[in-house]
Amino acid sequence: MDLFSDVIGSMRGGRKSFCRTRGTGRWGRRLEPFSGTGFHVVLDGGGWLVTPSAPPVRLDAGDVVFVPYGAAHGLSGTPDRPFAELPAVPDAFPPEDGATSYADVVCGAYRSDKGQVHPLLQGLPDVIHMRSDRHSAMRTVVDLLADGPESGVGAGAAVPALIDLLLVYLLRAWHDDAGPPAALGDPAVAAALHRIHRDPRHKWTVEELGAAAGMSRTAFARRFTSLVGLPPVTYLTNWRLDCGARLLRETDAPLASIAHQVGYSSEFAFASAFRRRFGTPPGRFRHRERAFSG
């Protein structure tokens, strides 16, 4: 698996939710900041993307709004409603007789623990507007969502799979348009990241990673921290714990086995580090995640 796939996987690890809704007239929806990643897909009709500080942006059928950090934003049937005046989610999209404004929208989110976002995605804007007709693969997913897979045989599997696929193509489209994150464009730092991701169980040291990059410990640590936003050891620790969280969600492996797989010498050491990062013990985290997934 390539490193950027690992990054996408870390975003997909959050608790998934989605809905399809329609609005007419002066419909609106305000979403306050939340921990995680969200998006909206305009399947039919149109409207406006509204944020607290920027001018409204026109949305047409096929457009996608991507919110990588859960920033405050809203959707509206007209451009004249400020963010603060849009209704909260429970009152979203009120019907209006004789309305000319209409939108059919799929909204989704991956809610994550404590708002953690992979550092290689920190350079993305708070709210991104994309036109799917510029990216054929993303347009195909949008068309499949518009076909109404939320009903019929296999709906429980079809929609979540399409939501996951849309996230992949959103990030791929952004990567193609804006270029790779700076850290992945630097040979020394990229090589270190690949080593960490390929073998998180290894007891990597800054000296070892720097030597592999042909740099001194100090120079390597400075460059890595500048481009990634975290010191090498902190990044390694976070990645180990993110891998541990994924194993807790997706497997029934004992905690001791998971601790060993992600580089911890004991279940106790893993549990202590996990609690510091996620705010809850591993066992409780696993129980909660299974409850959310049904």
pLDDT in tens, 240-266: 998 998 899 889 999 999 999 999 999
Q: What is the DSSP letter of 215?
A: -
Asked if residues 241 and 274 have their Cβ atoms less than 8 Å apart, the reply is yes
192, 209 contact by CB (below 8 A): yes
CA distance to 131, 153, 203, 220, per residue, from 250 (Å)? 33, 25, 25, 35
Dig out the tokens for 84 from the structure.
């603060």
Tens of pLDDT, residues 2-12: 777 787 777 66
| pLDDT the model gives residue 116 | 61
Main-chain dihedrals φ then ψ at residue 265, nearest 5 degrees: -80, -20
| Helix, strand, coil percentages, rounded to 5, for the chain | 50, 20, 30
**Nearest-CA neighbor of 22 among 139, 131, 148, 159?**
148
231: which residues sit within 8 A by CB, 6+ positions away?
Answer: 206, 221, 224, 225
Beta strands in 116-176 (DSSP E): 128-131
Pick the CATH number of 183-292 from 3.20.19.10, 1.10.10.60, 3.20.20.30, 3.90.1150.10: 1.10.10.60
Average pLDDT over residues 84-104: 68
In the predicted structure, residue 57 carries a pLDDT above the cut 80: yes
Cβ-contact 142, 41 below 8 angstroms:
yes
Rg (Cα) of the chain, in Å, rounded? 21
- Residues forming CATH 1.10.10.60 domain(s) in the chain: 183-292
In this prediction, residue 262 carries a pLDDT of 96
Which of 108-117, 173-182, 187-196, 268-277 bottoms out in mean pLDDT, i.e. has the lowest?
A: 108-117
pLDDT at 37: 86
- Both tokens of residue 225? 């921290």
**Would you identify the CATH topology of the domain 15-178?**
Jelly Rolls (2.60.120)
87: DSSP letter: P
> Percent of the chain beyond pLDDT 90?
45
**Lowest-pLDDT range of 14-18, 151-155, 245-249, 274-278:** 151-155
Q: Which amino acid is at 281?
A: P
Query: Beta-carbon neighbour count of residue 222 at 10 Å?
Result: 13
d(CA 173, CA 219): 33
Task: Report the run of H or E that residue 287 belongs to, with start and end.
Answer: helix 282-292
pLDDT computed for residue 42 by the predictor: 93
The pTM of the full predicted model, rounded to 2 decimals, is 0.77
Token digits of residue 219: 């120079």
Q: In the prediction, which pLDDT does 92 show?
A: 47
Q: What is the arithmetic mean of pLDDT over 33-41?
A: 88
pLDDT of 130 strictly over 60: yes
pLDDT digits (tens, 9 = 90+) for 145-190: 888 666 666 666 777 788 888 888 888 888 787 777 888 889 999 9
Strand partners, 60: 46
- The segment(s) of the chain belonging to CATH 2.60.120.280 are 15-178
